Amino acid sequence: MTMTLPILFNNRHILPSGRLPLRVAPGTQLTTVKYAMRNGLDIGVCMDETSPIGAGIGTRVSIEDFSLSSEDGSLTITVSGHESFIIDSVLDNDENIVVATCQTLPSWPKQEVSIDSAPLAERLQIMFERYPELSSLHASPHFDNLTWLCQRWLELLPLPASEKQVLMAANSCSNTAEYLLSLMKDPH
């Protein structure tokens, strides 16, 4: 499916079924958010790799909540991820908003957690217990769904955007699960 979205470049990835607070700096980012809210549009969030071409995979999100910081004029928006996409083309519209024509990527099929992949669930549960603000974003966690677990780990881990983009472009969570499990077995 083809869609056109205003694009917000951010230093964090959000994936389908995810919820994240994103800091929106005054300037271009804030203008993009205002444009989307004024026009009732969802936003495409792509990880910033210094150019739109380097951030070719993103996720369509809807804005659920926002709060303004009186200190620096930034805005924090809580967004909910829907489907991932790959950018076909990017342009500035009449209001100088970066808008992209995108193709949706196939959703990863749900997979049950196996004995081998159980550490992904166990360690994410520990993270949720240690960081209540993280847990509060996901009222109904799906610790038995390997796809959901892999998506949350990709949101949380500070991996290079290029690695995340390769994993996000796959047809299932299998490669991501193997990659994440190898990171857990071989702490760098």
What would the pLDDT profile of 30-86 be if each residue is shown by its tens digit?
999 999 999 999 999 997 654 444 458 999 999 999 998 767 778 999 999 999 999
Taking 70 as the threshold, does the pLDDT of residue 187 lie above it? no
User: What dotted CATH number matches 115-185?
Assistant: 1.10.4060
What would the pLDDT profile of 107-162 be if each residue is shown by its tens digit?
999 999 999 999 999 999 999 999 999 999 998 999 999 999 999 999 999 988 88
Say what the pLDDT of residue 70 is: 67
**Residue 69 or 93, more confident:** 93
> The whole model's pTM is what?
0.90
Say what the pLDDT of residue 48 is: 64
Is 2-104 in CATH node 3.40.50.970? Answer: no
DSSP string, the chain: -EEEEEEEEESS---TT-EEEEEE-TTHHHHHHHHHHHTT--EEEEE--SSGGGG-EEEEEEEEEEEE-TTT--EEEEEEEEEEEEEEEEEE-TTS-EEEEEEEPPPPPP-B--TTTHHHHHHHHHHHHH-HHHHHT-SS--TTBHHHHHHHHHHHS---HHHHHHHHTSSSSHHHHHHHHHHHHS--
Ranges of each domain in the chain = 2-104, 115-185
